[in-house]
Amino acid sequence: MSQAPNLGESPIAPASVLPSYLQADNLGPWGNYLQQVDRVIPYLGNLARWAETLKRPKRILIVDVPIHMDDGTVAHFEGYRVQHNVSRGPGKGGVRFHQDVTLSEVMALSAWMSVKNAAVNVPYGGAKGGIRVDPKKLSHGELERMTRRYTSEIGIIIGPNKDIPAPDVNTNEQIMAWMMDTYSMNTGSTATGVVTGKPVDLGGSLGRREATGRGVFTVGVEAARHIGLDISTARLAVQGFGNVGGIAGKLFAEAGARVIAVQDHGGTIYREAGLDVPALLAHVARTGSVAGFAGAEVIANDQFWDVDCDILIPAALEQQITAANAGRIKARMIIEGANGPTTPAADDILASRNVLVVPDVIANAGGVTVSYFEWVQDFSSFFWDEEEINARLVKIMKTAFAGIWQVAQENKVSLRTATFIVACQRILHTRELRGLYP
Ligand code: GLU
């Protein structure tokens, strides 16, 4: 008897055992992501039978990145590119250079990209890359050689229609220019659409650099309205004052809010009357951190979590808000500029204390939304002005947030679970429509 083809109606064996390297054997970022997926499965209806797709990255590439150092030695770095899901379109997501990068982290970041891209309904799957390196310890030449060799090594799986990297922690426009050039040299023609977040003179988009922070601000204002929080008198604490936290802080300050505490890798500063945000941005641009900023007092790093504020914006790295500090947070609302800053255990504590969490997978989606605009502009070789880009960004973010808010109300779930419901339904619906090959 021949086996019936799997047309989507047929059941899929539930919960076959995940390979050991995918199991949540620790509470690292991938473990947190798996817990977030488990929370959404009861809300997926019939699509739940495809849910295991979400627990298995489609493709994982680990590469050795050897380079000549300036002192004549050869150094080897470990690089990754993970394509979590490509059901809705090519993989999309940033590349991070950080000494603590691990495969588990890149897997989680790639999965959050799948969810994020589906949440704002841009036609992408999710991917992420990284190199385990402290880029501050490299010379300019070493950084360029490492970026180019990494790009060549992952060149077998990236491309404008396959997987499109972008900036993330410690990567920027210059690194995207080197990646674009390396890919183009290897393939024999200039392919601007292979990465986003490029310099504007190389096919980058106006507004891309500020887009993540602008998106954080946009959804933050929407969420504040729903809970009756007045932005013009709100007090903010921001962790990370780079491309995301710095821009979001600036936009909130322009709307009248007081940024009273900022923490970054250099330390924690505080000023009850509100920090001079433009001056602080200039200081960070000059010195690399908030340390040494005149016009603020220094407080202990751990005291940051006790700061009496209305809005907290974690905009640095994962796993900052945990069961150990969630009970101390005074804010009424947390807007996640970073990816994965809050653990599931902390989410539960915050929910029980009535703190609204606007999750990463919607709050920081502004960056990839304008990356999408950049990619579209590169394909059409027709570039838009900044006003049009910002207007389209705000429209997408507001529409997506409104839908998620409604799903949260209807199902009486957190905004994180609501975002996962919306996004996972989209991902699994396309998965079902496409069917299994062969
Ligand atoms: N790295 C950013 C993020 O985490 C942007 C990704 C992109 O533009 O592709 O969303």
119 in ligand 1 pocket by Cβ < 6 Å? Answer: no
13-46 per-position pLDDT tens digit: 555 688 777 876 666 899 999 999 999 999 999 9
- Report which ligand 1 atom has the smallest distance to the Cα of 109: 4
Q: Tens digits of per-residue pLDDT, 420-438?
A: 999 999 999 999 999 999 9
Given 3.40.50.2020, 3.40.50.10860, 3.40.1390.10, 3.40.1160.10, which CATH number is that of 57-188?
3.40.50.10860
Q: What is the 9 CA–ligand 1 centroid distance (Å)?
A: 35
pLDDT band at 363; cut points 50, 70, 90? very high
Å from CA of 127 to ligand 1 middle: 9
Q: Is the pLDDT of residue 191 over 90?
A: yes
Which of 212, 369, 374 to probe ligand 1 with, by most ligand atoms within 8 A of CB?
A: 212
Residue 15 Cα to ligand 1 midpoint, Å, equals 30
Mutate to test the pocket of ligand 1, among 168, 196, 219 (most ligand atoms within 8 A of CB): 168
Q: What is the arithmetic mean of pLDDT over 379-408?
A: 98
Q: How many A from CA of 14 to the centre of ligand 1?
A: 32
Q: How many CB atoms lie within 10 A of CB 353?
A: 12
Dump pLDDT digits (tens) for 315-352.
999 999 999 999 999 999 999 999 999 999 999 999 99
d(CA 83, CA 78): 17
Looking at residue 26, its pLDDT comes to: 61
Residue 114 in 3-state DSSP? helix
- The mean per-residue pLDDT over the stretch 197-214 comes to 98
DSSP state letter for 365: T
Our mutation pick for probing the ligand 1 site, out of 113, 117, 212, counting the most ligand atoms within 8 A of Cβ, is 113
Q: What percent of the chain has pLDDT over 90?
A: 93
168 lines ligand 1 (CB under 6 A): yes
What residue spans in the chain does CATH classification 3.40.50.10860 cover? Answer: 57-188
- C-beta of 361 in contact with ligand 1 (< 6 A): no
Active site residues: 128
Q: Mean pLDDT across the chain, nearest whole number? A: 95
Residue-wise pLDDT tens digits, 285-306: 999 999 999 989 999 999 999 9
Cβ(191)–Cβ(157) under 8 Å? no
What pLDDT, on a 0 to 100 scale, did the predictor assign at position 20? 78
For domain 209-363, is the CATH number 3.40.50.300? no
Whole-angstrom Cα distance, residue 427 to residue 157? 21
What was the pLDDT predicted at 5? 47
Distance in Å, CA 168 to ligand 1 centroid: 6
Atom of ligand 1 minimally distant from the CA of 365: 10
Asked if residue 314 has pLDDT above 70, the reply is yes
Calpha distance 405→38 (Å, rounded): 20
Query: What pLDDT is stored for residue 378 in this prediction?
Result: 98
| Ligand 1 neighbour 341 (Cβ under 6 A) | no
Asked if pLDDT for residue 12 goes beyond 90, the answer is no
The protein residue with its alpha carbon nearest to ligand 1, atom 8, reads 368
In ligand 1, the atom with minimum distance to the C-alpha of 370 is 8
Would you place residue 2 in the very low, low, confident or very high pLDDT band (cuts 50, 70, 90)?
very low
How far does Cα 33 stand from its chain's mean position?
13
Binding site membership of 205 for ligand 1 (Cβ less than 6 Å): no
- Return the pLDDT at 141: 98
Question: What pTM value is reported for the model?
Answer: 0.95
The per-residue pLDDT for 189 is: 97
Section 114-121 average pLDDT: 98
| First-to-final CA distance of the chain | 19
Pocket perturbation via mutation, ligand 1, pick of 175, 198, 247, 368 by most ligand atoms within 8 A of CB: 368
Residue 371 in contact with ligand 1 by CB distance below 6 A: yes
With a cut of 60, say whether residue 388 has pLDDT above it.
Answer: yes
Average pLDDT over residues 165-187: 98
pLDDT, position 28: 87
Q: What separation in Å is there between the alpha carbon of 244 and the centre of ligand 1?
A: 11
Q: What burial letters (b/e) apply to 260-271, b meaning 16+ CB within 10 Å?
A: bbbbbeebbbbb
pLDDT band at 64 (very low <50, low <70, confident <90, very high): very high
Give CATH 3.40.50.720 domain extents, the chain. 209-363
